[in-house]
Amino acid sequence: METLRNKKGFICDMDGVIYHGNTLLSGVKEFVDWLHKNDKKFLFLTNNSQKSPKELQQKLARMGLKVDESNFHTAALATASFLKAQGASTAYVIGDAGLTNALYDVGITLNDVDPEYVVIGETENYNFESIKKATKLVNRGARLIGTNSDLTTPTEHGEIPACKALVAPIEYATNRKAYYVGKPNPLMMRAAMSRFHKFGIHSPDVAMIGDRMDTDIIAATESGLDSVLVLSGVSSRETVERFPFRPRLILNGVGDIPNM
């Protein structure tokens, strides 16, 4: 069986792979130390839109991990890039600073009267007033965007609703389907792989590590990356049997990799 030690690049999900909420998972420090020691190129790729790369860097630093800000890419950044490419200039946003700042950075201003887009990401400030506002704006013609298609996200207190669960009431109320930008959307994966291409690293040389079959593993499979499922998040070995595709490897967590 091909070993992961020979891979030149690693794309790692964060929630359920690196941490649960504010709790670092077992073996992660050893894995990150191994990446640095062996000069592996790596990218932490998260569908969570709440935090900026700088905030994620600081979060890991508080957990004792030293990772450069350039090693992060988020669904918020991918969503901002998508909207910029679409020529968008205004949006009504249900989301936190990681999303709003990413939109500001590409020239998109917030508008709750006549926006071109309604954009929804993870947030703890979700309420019925924002749902009503978003529903009204979509019914008036605003296009509906979700930063990612995760229904739940793992925390140290168990799974909680994620972006797709927050978008669902607006989809039902308007009879409009949202367009989801994050994993497994190829837009997100191409943006991630472009970080490796400048080092001459291509898809066969890269492993993607995630805890979700419906985002991480299908994204790896469809992008030609080596697929590695870890059982430290929302999936179990029984979960795998419900899908028509499989990861190449199933590990307990990323801490298994340095010892392979």
Find the range with the poorest average confidence among 8-17, 77-86, 153-162, 225-234: 153-162
In a domain, 60, yes or no: no
Is residue 36 domain-shared with residue 107, that is, in the same domain? no
How many domains are contained in the chain? 2
**Cβ proximity of 185 and 145 under 8 Å:** no
What span, in angstroms and rounded, lies between the C-alpha atoms of 258 and 177? 42
The structure's pTM equals: 0.91
User: What mean pLDDT do residues 179-186 have?
Assistant: 95
Q: What is the model's pLDDT at position 162?
A: 92
The single residue of 15, 211, 214, 256 carrying the catalytic annotation is: 15
**The CATH number of the domain where 121 resides is what?**
3.40.50.1000
What span, in angstroms and rounded, lies between the C-alpha atoms of 27 and 49? 25
The single residue of 13, 96, 211, 256 carrying the catalytic annotation is: 13
Res. 2 pLDDT band, cuts 50 70 90 = low
Is residue 30 domain-shared with residue 107, that is, in the same domain? no
Question: Which residue range(s) make up the domain with 215?
Answer: 4-47+183-259
The percentage of the chain sitting over the pLDDT mark of 90, rounded to a whole number, equals 90
Pick the closest to residue 105 from 84, 119, 91, 87 (CA basis). 84
State yes or no: is 39 an active-site residue.
no
Judged against a pLDDT cut of 50, whether residue 1 lies above it is answered with no
State yes or no: is 256 an active-site residue.
no
**Predicted confidence (pLDDT) per residue in 58-110, tens digit:** 999 999 999 999 999 999 999 999 999 999 999 999 999 999 999 999 999 99
User: What mean pLDDT do residues 12-22 have?
Assistant: 93
Q: Which two tokens stand for residue 166?
A: 């927050």
Is residue 101 domain-shared with residue 172, that is, in the same domain? yes
**Predicted confidence (pLDDT) per residue in 125-150, tens digit:** 899 999 999 999 999 999 999 999 99
Is residue 116 domain-shared with residue 20, that is, in the same domain? no
In a domain, 67, yes or no: no
